[in-house]
């Protein structure tokens, strides 16, 4: 349907692309899914330049952004999207293998809307992707806060 915004998947690993597509397909979303294979391409798409100069004027509903990407990495793409007035409203979900806390912290610092560590179990992965398609915030990880983490006395 023409009024549906596309979903932008930025992922370089073909296996992950295939698995992610399979999951999205299973959720029966009608959105067009645009795939970019590296950070530079994703930025071109988002800023409608280069190959994507003539793309549909609507911005994607959500960007599923892998952290580790060729050319321009995920954090850099995130920084540019969130640092630009025109694009900062686009929801970005960091989709990554990384459990590294520093990545998490940086992503939240840069204004990511959600941070999803791809689970090893496929079922969870499927669920995550499906949910993300509908609403990006289901499986997000909260910003890490250290210290003060004691439970309130029960």
Partner 1 sequence: MEADSRGLDTGSAPAEVLTVCDREPIHRLGTLQPHGFLLALRDPDGRIVQASANVPGGIEACLGRPCDVAFPDLEGLFPADSAEPERDGAQYLRTVSLSTPEGPLAYDLAIHRSGALTILEFEAVASVFASNHSLDALYPRLSRFVEGLHEAASVAELCHLVAVDIRHITGFDRTLVYRFDRDWHGTVIAEDGNGALPSYLDLRFPATDIPAQARELYRRNRLRIIPDAGYRPVPILREPGEDAEPLDLSQSILRSVSPVHVEYMRNMGTMASMSVSILVDGALWGLISCHNAAPRRVPLQARNACDFLTRIFALQLAAKERGAEAEQRLRLGAIQARLLGFMAEEENFLDGLLKHSDDVLALAGASGAAVITSDTCRLLGTTPRDVEVRGIYQWLSSGPGGADLVATDALSEVYPPARAFAEQASGLLAISISQKYASYVLWFRPEVVRTVKWGGDPTKAATPDPAGGPERLHPRQSFEIWKETLQNRSLPWSRAEIESVKDLRASVLGIVLRRAEELASLSEELQRSNKELEAFSYSVSHDLRAPFRHIVGYAELLRSREGSRLSDKGRHYINTIVEAAFSAGTLVDNLLRFSQMGRNALNPVAGDLNALVEEVRRSVMREVPPERTIRWTIGSLGKVNADPVMLRLVIENLLSNAVKYSRDRAEAVIEVGRLDGRSPGQAPDGDGAEQAVFFVRDNGVGFDMAYVDKLFGVFQRLHRVEEFEGTGIGLANVRRIVERHGGRTWAEGAIGAGATFYFTLPTPTAVPNPNAATRTRSPRNPRDAR
User: How many residues touch partner 1 (CB under 8 A)?
Assistant: 30
Q: Does 70 help bind partner 1 (rule: CB under 8 A)? A: no
Q: Does 142 help bind partner 1 (rule: CB under 8 A)? A: no
In the complex with partner 1, which residue's Cβ is closer, 125 or 136? 125
- Candidates 98, 106, 130, 141: give the one binding partner 1 (CB under 8 A): 98
With vertex at residue 94, the alpha carbon angle to CA 72 and CA 86, rounded to the nearest 5 degrees, is: 70
Tokens 């100069």: give the residue. Answer: 53
Which phi and psi (to 5°) does residue 60 adopt?
A: -65, 155
> Interface residues for partner 1 in 1-40 (CB under 8 A)?
13, 15-16, 19, 22
Cα torsion angle, 80, 85, 86, 92, sign: positive
Q: Does 101 help bind partner 1 (rule: CB under 8 A)? A: yes
In this structure, what DSSP letter does residue 29 have?
A: -
Q: Does 106 help bind partner 1 (rule: CB under 8 A)? A: no
């Amino acid at each position: 349907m023409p009024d549906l915004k596309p979903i932008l998947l930025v992922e370089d690993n073909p296996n992950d692309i295939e698995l992610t597509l399979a999951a999205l397909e299973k959720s029966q979303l009608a959105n067009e899914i645009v795939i970019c294979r590296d950070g530079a391409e994703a930025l071109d798409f988002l800023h409608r330049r280069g190959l994507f100069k003539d793309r549909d004027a609507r911005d994607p509903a959500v960007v599923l952004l892998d952290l580790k990407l060729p050319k321009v990495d995920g954090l850099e793409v995130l920084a540019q999207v969130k640092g630009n007035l025109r694009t900062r409203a686009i929801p970005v979900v960091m989709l990554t293998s990384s459990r590294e806390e520093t990545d998490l912290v940086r992503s939240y610092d840069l204004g990511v809307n959600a941070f999803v560590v791809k689970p090893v179990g496929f079922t969870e992965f499927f669920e995550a992707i499906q949910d993300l398609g509908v609403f990006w915030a289901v499986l997000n990880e909260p910003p890490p806060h250290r210290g003060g983490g004691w439970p309130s006395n029960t």
